[in-house]
């Protein structure tokens, strides 16, 4: 167990490689109750969310979710979030565990000009269990009347799972198909056991933080604190697709518009090692004798069986095929810039 | 719990050495591989490298962590287990049979200060 955002969480149950492969090939179950939930409601809730979230929440129908960012006025990440539209004027923002307090203050302050809207930290009302993998539906469907086959990616529905009042969302942080199930904390252990039992036949196994990290990295999903933070803008993180360029003003918009017009100096890229060695967060990246950037995340991926990494590089080096070197504890190892995601599911 | 072979000597840094004559094969213990988790990369020295007891002779990486490998004795590297390049997971599967380097001991007396299997088992208990 390791401390993580105020929680004690297992890095691994049976081993990171076995857990990672289970999610890619069958299914895995994750306790991600540490994630925070901040609800925004009121007559002007949509306007409020539009101010503090960079994606366009007006595009969401009730029952739909989107990836977005909470930004500083500089267009950098206070946090990355998922925005769920629970009702026309009621939203739930799922945020990173370690930032719940900071995010809440940022949101409560940021929505003030919107008028009638309040932000509530509802984190203690939700436990969250994720079932991820190509066979996730076979695991969850027998326990619920919610038609999971009819649920599209990044949509959600309310219902019961294993007799427990739940919100089921077709989302995840693994690059695999799957579901995230929000339930009241007192029922979380019963849900966990019911899912384990239901998944026994397909080979569902519990997965810890270690596999969650290798899976998300293989799928090129950014980790706040590593790949994105308050020093990196949305455009530098190559996440321009989460910016609602046409929507009304939002925190960070001016800077992003300027950066879009003037161009960025550096961009987050994928690296694949060409020589033995594993690039890890913090390792410097060189072209010849010049230090040009740094690795933000890196690992040996259990499924692709390659050493991969993300790094910020000057745009001149940030094109696929570009050759760089990573300083791995004093030894230089060649790496190539490759397109992201490293892994994309086929189905 | 995997038994620690009685014929081996052990360092407090969790390496074992299987000494035969003036040579010893070196690996890491079951305790060490469990702490590391799934091993994905082992970086070893070249044949001919001169090692000092206690000095780092390479690194071992699991998915989650990087650790140094420490020489339990002084001497010259006379052989390197090249098979680990393609099968680093052997360290997890059979730690006490998966050697990394073979060292020609320059000072056989050093082995006397290492732990025996019972002492090592007590250390990691």
At A85 the pLDDT is 98
In a domain, A9, yes or no: yes
For residue B43, which residues of chain A lie inside 8 Å, CB to CB? 276-277
Both tokens assigned to A126? 């939700």
For residue A307, which residues of chain B lie inside 8 Å, CB to CB? 41
**pLDDT band at residue A5, thresholds of 50, 70 and 90?**
confident
In a domain, A60, yes or no: yes
What's the CA gap between A161 and A131, in Å, rounded? Answer: 12
Q: What is the CATH number of the domain that holds A172?
A: 3.30.1360.120
Burial class of B65 by CB neighbour count within 10 A (0 to 12, 13 to 18, 19+): middle
| Cross-chain CB nearest to A300 (options B59, B63, B85) | B63
Instruction: Report whether pLDDT(A347) > 80.
Output: no
At A14 the pLDDT is 93
| Cross-chain CB nearest to A15 (options B37, B41, B43) | B37
Does the beta-carbon distance from A17 to B61 stay under 8 Å? no
At A122 the pLDDT is 98
Taking the Cβ of residue A329 and every Cβ of chain B, the question of whether any pair is shorter than 8 Å is answered with yes
User: Phi first, then psi: what are they for A318, rounded to 5°?
Assistant: -90, 25
Determine the distance in angstroms separating the CA of B57 from the nearest CA of chain A, rounded to an integer: 14
What's the CA gap between B115 and B123, in Å, rounded? Answer: 9
pLDDT in tens, A308-345: 999 999 999 999 999 999 999 999 999 999 999 999 99
Give the mutation candidate from B44, B56, B63, B92 for the A interface (greatest A CB count, under 10 A).
B63
Give the nearest chain A residue to B42 (CA atoms): A277
What distance lies between CA A76 and its chain's CA centroid? 16
ipTM: 0.80
In a domain, A288, yes or no: yes
**Count of CB contacts below 8 A, A vs B?**
42
Q: Pick from A218, A252, A269: which residue ends a domain?
A: A218
A135 and A113 in a single domain? The answer is no
Average pLDDT of the segment spanning A97-123: 97
Does the beta-carbon distance from A300 to B37 stay under 8 Å? no
Residues 6+ apart with CB under 8 A from A53: A68, A69, A70, A81, A83, A93, A250
For residue B33, which residues of chain A lie inside 8 Å, CB to CB? none
Sequence spans of domains, chain B:
9-104
In a domain, A344, yes or no: no
At B2 the pLDDT is 79
Average pLDDT of the segment spanning A4-16: 91
Q: In 3D, which of A210, A202, A197, A155 has the Cα closest to residue A179? A: A155
User: Phi first, then psi: what are they for A292, rounded to 5°?
Assistant: -115, -10
Does the beta-carbon distance from A300 to B41 stay under 8 Å? yes
Does the beta-carbon distance from B61 to A300 stay under 8 Å? yes
A88 and A163 in a single domain? The answer is no
A140 and A113 in a single domain? The answer is no
B2 vs A254: which has the higher pLDDT: A254
In a domain, A331, yes or no: yes
Average pLDDT of the segment spanning A122-149: 98
At B120 the pLDDT is 96
A9 and A146 in a single domain? The answer is yes
A206 vs A7: which has the higher pLDDT: A206
Average pLDDT of the segment spanning A52-71: 98
Instruction: Report whether pLDDT(B1) > 70.
Output: no
In a domain, A232, yes or no: no
Average pLDDT of the segment spanning A67-85: 98
Both tokens assigned to A279? 């690039």
Determine the distance in angstroms separating the CA of B63 from the nearest CA of chain A, rounded to an integer: 6
At B65 the pLDDT is 84
Taking the Cβ of residue A16 and every Cβ of chain B, the question of whether any pair is shorter than 8 Å is answered with yes
Does the beta-carbon distance from A16 to B66 stay under 8 Å? no
Q: In 3D, which of B61, B20, B17 has the Cα closest to residue B42? A: B61
A132: enclosing H helix or E strand: strand A127-132
Determine the distance in angstroms separating the CA of B55 from the nearest CA of chain A, rounded to an integer: 16
Does the beta-carbon distance from B63 to A16 stay under 8 Å? yes
Q: pTM for the full model? A: 0.92
Average pLDDT of the segment spanning A92-106: 97
Angle in degrees, 0-180, between the axes of helices A209-218 and A16-25, rounded to the nearest 10: 50
Q: How many residues does chain A have?
A: 347
Average pLDDT of the segment spanning A1-13: 88
Does the beta-carbon distance from B41 to A15 stay under 8 Å? no
In a domain, A234, yes or no: no
* Structural domain total, chain A: 3
Residues 6+ apart with CB under 8 A from B25: B17, B18, B99, B101, B102, B103
A296 and A277 in a single domain? The answer is yes
| Cross-chain CB nearest to B41 (options A15, A214, A276) | A276
In a domain, A179, yes or no: yes
B9-104 CATH: 2.40.50.100
At B64 the pLDDT is 83
What distance lies between CA A288 and its chain's CA centroid? 34
At A321 the pLDDT is 97
Does the beta-carbon distance from B37 to A16 stay under 8 Å? yes
For residue A280, which residues of chain B lie inside 8 Å, CB to CB? 66
CA distances to A94, A272, B61, B84 from B32, in Å: 38, 29, 12, 17
A333 and A285 in a single domain? The answer is yes
At A346 the pLDDT is 83
DSSP state of A155: B
Determine the distance in angstroms separating the CA of B38 from the nearest CA of chain A, rounded to an integer: 7
**pLDDT band at residue A25, thresholds of 50, 70 and 90?**
very high
Q: What is the CATH number of the domain that holds A73?
A: 3.30.70.1400
| Contact call for residues A337 and A319 (beta carbons, < 8 A) | yes
For residue A15, which residues of chain B lie inside 8 Å, CB to CB? 37-38
For residue A20, which residues of chain B lie inside 8 Å, CB to CB? 63
At B88 the pLDDT is 94
Taking the Cβ of residue A330 and every Cβ of chain B, the question of whether any pair is shorter than 8 Å is answered with no
For residue B40, which residues of chain A lie inside 8 Å, CB to CB? 17, 278, 300, 302
What's the CA gap between A208 and B63, in Å, rounded? Answer: 13
| Contact call for residues A242 and A55 (beta carbons, < 8 A) | yes
Does the beta-carbon distance from A300 to B59 stay under 8 Å? no
Determine how β-strand A307-314 pairs with β-strand A323-328. Answer: unpaired
Q: Which of A5-14, A92-101, B92-101 has the lowest mean pLDDT?
A: A5-14
| Contact call for residues B63 and A299 (beta carbons, < 8 A) | yes
A170 and A21 in a single domain? The answer is yes
Both tokens assigned to B16? 């074992």
Domain of A56?
Answer: 36-124
What is the 3-class SS of chain B, one letter each residue? CCCCCCCCEECCCCEEEEEECCEEEEEECHHHHHHHCCEEEEECCCCCCEECCCCEEEEEEECCCEEEEECCCCEEEEEECHHHHCCCCHHHHCCCCCCCEEEEECCHHHHHHCECHHHHHHHCC
A80: enclosing H helix or E strand: strand A77-87
Q: Pick from A124, A156, A179: which residue ends a domain?
A: A124
Return the half-sphere exposure (C-beta side, CA atoms, 13 A cut-off) of residue A249.
Answer: 8
Place of tokens 């650790």: B67
For residue A278, which residues of chain B lie inside 8 Å, CB to CB? 40-41, 61, 66
Q: Mean pLDDT, chain B, as a whole number?
A: 94
Q: How many residues does chain B have?
A: 125
pLDDT in tens, A223-239: 999 999 999 999 999 99
């Amino acid at each position: 167990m390791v401390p993580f955002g105020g929680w004690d969480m297992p890095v691994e149950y049976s081993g990171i490689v076995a857990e990672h492969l289970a999610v890619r090939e069958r299914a895995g179950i994750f306790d991600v109750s540490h994630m925070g939930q901040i609800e925004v409601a009121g007559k002007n809730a949509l306007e409020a969310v539009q101010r503090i979230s960079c994606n366009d929440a007006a595009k969401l129908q009730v029952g739909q979710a989107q990836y977005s960012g909470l930004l500083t006025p500089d267009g950098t990440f206070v946090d990355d979030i998922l925005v769920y539209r629970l009702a026309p004027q009621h939203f739930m923002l799922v945020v990173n565990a370690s930032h719940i307090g900071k995010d809440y203050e940022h949101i409560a302050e940021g929505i003030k000009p919107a008028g009638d809207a309040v932000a509530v930290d509802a984190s203690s009302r939700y436990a969250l269990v994720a079932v991820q993998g190509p066979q996730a539906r076979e695991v969850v469907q027998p326990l619920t009347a919610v038609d999971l086959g009819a649920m599209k990616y990044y949509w959600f529905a309310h219902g019961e799972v294993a007799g427990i009042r739940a919100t089921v969302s077709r989302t995840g942080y693994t690059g695999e198909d799957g579901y995230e199930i929000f339930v009241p904390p007192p029922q979380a252990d019963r849900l966990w056991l019911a899912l384990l039992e239901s998944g026994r036949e397909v080979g569902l196994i519990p997965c810890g933080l270690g596999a969650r990290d290798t899976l998300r990295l293989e799928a090129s999903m950014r980790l706040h604190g590593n790949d994105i933070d308050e020093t990196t803008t949305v455009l530098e993180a190559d996440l321009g697709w989460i910016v609602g360029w046409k929507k009304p003003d939002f925190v960070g918009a001016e800077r992003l518009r300027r950066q879009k017009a003037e161009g960025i100096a550096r961009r987050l890229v994928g690296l694949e090692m060409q020589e033995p060695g594993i690039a890890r967060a913090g390792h410097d990246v060189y072209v010849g004798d010049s230090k040009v950037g740094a690795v933000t995340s890196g690992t040996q991926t259990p499924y692709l069986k390659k050493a991969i990494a993300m790094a910020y590089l000057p745009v001149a080096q940030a094109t696929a095929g570009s050759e760089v070197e990573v300083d791995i504890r004093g030894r230089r190892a060649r790496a190539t810039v490759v397109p992201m995601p490293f892994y994309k599911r086929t189905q | 719990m995997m038994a620690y072979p009685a014929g081996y000597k052990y360092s407090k840094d969790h390496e074992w050495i299987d000494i035969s004559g003036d040579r010893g094969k070196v690996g890491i213990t079951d305790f060490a591989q469990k702490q590391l988790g799934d091993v994905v990369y082992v970086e070893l020295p070249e044949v001919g490298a001169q090692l000092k007891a206690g000095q780092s002779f390479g690194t071992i990486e699991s998915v989650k962590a990087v650790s140094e490998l420490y020489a339990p004795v002084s001497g010259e590297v006379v052989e390197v287990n090249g098979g680990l390049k393609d099968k680093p997971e052997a360290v997890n599967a059979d730690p006490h049979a998966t050697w990394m380097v073979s060292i020609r001991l320059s000072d056989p007396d050093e082995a006397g200060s290492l732990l025996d299997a019972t002492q090592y088992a007590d250390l990691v208990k």
